[in-house]
Structure 1
């Protein structure tokens, strides 16, 4: 039992670990002759108390694995924070670079139940005549499902990533225009860096939260030009968002063109409180963005957190009628030959959205991969057993095969009662 406890603590609370069969052998190597010597360490999966090697699933979705999702959230927090105030290989001089927090919404596809407010922030009655509570399940659902544009909503999600890329191109043009530069000359003076996450609104439409920063020509390592200000950046973002368009498919004679919604919110990131419409702090922005990095369509709309294999499954699932209609629409559109590149059936559970939930430009800050590598190296250093006669050079031979996913009932019961081993639960934020 103690050895099983140790193995389960080592997966840091993961509820869906990957089970592997195989072995890992470390041999000493003679650095002068290259000869492979004695065996230093050997690990066989059959000798482990769980009968397999257990590896964390690293799923970012909180509905699938809360522990791994929390690690992902914390990594995202550090990634965003590094781009705001430095650290993790990013110079702290980025603190002085102009930057904003922007929210890009989706267009409308028909009236939905909501909680409108007046200028004083007082909640008014919905168009249906009711005053909805904040947890009312009808929020975000259509007032009239029969006339709601489900086709447009699904295709918007499918093209949202392309629209963001188009916006990124236009943003550089708009900044260059305000600086009196040509697009070609702009790269010699400045660079635009960003990090963004996608979030589902309750109606099932994707929108984006982004940190956008102006750097010098080499990124965060170089200072931005004197003309670069948060005000100039905000103005350029507004113009670029207004001009960004993506032509979509023609479905049954109906053409689709996609643009951002009218509700664009751009706020400078400086050093004040996050609430009450004040300017934003770096920590508040990083926390806000990281919160959405572990959520998907299932969190906002009550949809699915896994792909569908057959449409017949839909009738057996406990999901909202609105989510069911969106998924069914994506599945139906996915059967059309002219839309096969959108892979709508594969992404029906995501309501058509097939982009990455968390993305960043190359020079914004560190990477999630670098953070994972640093954590893995720290764990290895903590677990290493060094002996005086152990060779500095080793050859590692390993062979692993997939054996399944998840824990047995007994393992799950025991794991739920354990505290994760030190260093497996992520860093506190």
Structure 2
């Protein structure tokens, strides 16, 4: 057994467990569940039953129980977006996001977005956290401020050059309130668009809709930042044309102004005013 395990690249205990599962009566169904989860590395195990009845007659239309599943459990994908937690689900999410963003840029009738959105003003914006202090990095030209040419997999990348002066509290607060900062940014953006069009917010909403598509990701320094596609549509969304005053220049200026205005007031805490 030890020799066979070495050949297939595993240990005897794991190999024995694999053989046990492969020879179990419910192996084919178990394999189907694994396939349906897309190879999720940490699937959710569900137990229980469900019954659907006709509202009037009470007749059972559908009934299902996990008792007939291998191990009495139904496995479903975890859906985690982080590759460090589940590479398979993260890959699926990234692919879905790509197609949604692409549809918002070029149109996709199959996804309910007309191809006319190609002519709508749109801007790709990156909203990044402020500096909390210098960190180890790999600049395009030259070397890191510490004087070292760090390799791509260096564990120092993103860590503080001077931990004693780095604003760790600010970094934590930024990540904790990043979602609210984005929400406030979208509120201010609609106001800024309306102001540049010489309209009230209500008047602007009657002729123009500001549409968003965004993803959030962590930088090497551990700070969340947003990549967003912002598009100006007509009042009923991508199916309607934006007003004549809507332009890329106007949208760009409004985005910059809204980003500068978006803040989250917090009460003082301890040594942090």
Q: TM-score range by the shorter chain?
A: 0.7 to 0.9
Q: What is the TM-score of this pair, normalised by structure 1?
A: 0.52
Deviation at 1:26, TM superposition (A): 7.0
1:102 equivalent in alignment to 2:125: yes
Corresponding residue for residue 92 of structure 2: 71
Is the 8 Å Cα contact of residues 159 and 248 (structure 1) preserved in structure 2?
Answer: no
Q: Which has the higher contact order (CA 8 A, sep 6+)?
A: 1
Is the 8 Å Cα contact of residues 125 and 227 (structure 2) preserved in structure 1?
Answer: yes
Cα distance, 1:216–1:130 mapped onto 2, change above 3 Å: same
List gaps (5 residues or longer) in structure 1: 118-122, 256-429
Cα distance, 1:46–1:35 mapped onto 2, change above 3 Å: closer
Corresponding residue for residue 221 of structure 2: 203
Provide the aligned C-alpha RMSD in A.
Answer: 2.5
Deviation at 1:43, TM superposition (A): 4.5
Corresponding residue for residue 34 of structure 2: 8
Q: What is the TM-score of this pair, normalised by structure 2?
A: 0.79
Deviations 1:179-217 (A, max 9, x none): 222333211221111111111111111111100001112
1:171 equivalent in alignment to 2:192: no
Q: How many residues align?
A: 245
Deviation at 1:89, TM superposition (A): 1.7
1:51 equivalent in alignment to 2:60: no
Deviations 1:299-349 (A, max 9, x none): xxxxxxxxxxxxxxxxxxxxxxxxxxxxxxxxxxxxxxxxxxxxxxxxxxx
3-state SS, counterpart of residue 189 of structure 1: coil
- Out of 194, 214, 219, the position equivalent to 2:237 is 219
Deviations 1:17-53 (A, max 9, x none): 22233345678x7x9x83637xx87654333334322
Corresponding residue for residue 160 of structure 1: 178
Corresponding residue for residue 167 of structure 2: 149
List gaps (5 residues or longer) in structure 2: 1-26
Aligned counterparts of 2:62 and 2:241: Cα–Cα separation in 1: 50
Is the 8 Å Cα contact of residues 113 and 139 (structure 1) preserved in structure 2?
Answer: yes
3-state SS, counterpart of residue 54 of structure 1: strand
1:236 equivalent in alignment to 2:254: yes
Deviations 1:228-283 (A, max 9, x none): 1112211221122223333223123533xxxxxxxxxxxxxxxxxxxxxxxxxxxx
Cα distance, 1:190–1:142 mapped onto 2, change above 3 Å: same
Cα distance, 1:46–1:91 mapped onto 2, change above 3 Å: same
- Out of 107, 127, 136, the position equivalent to 2:145 is 127
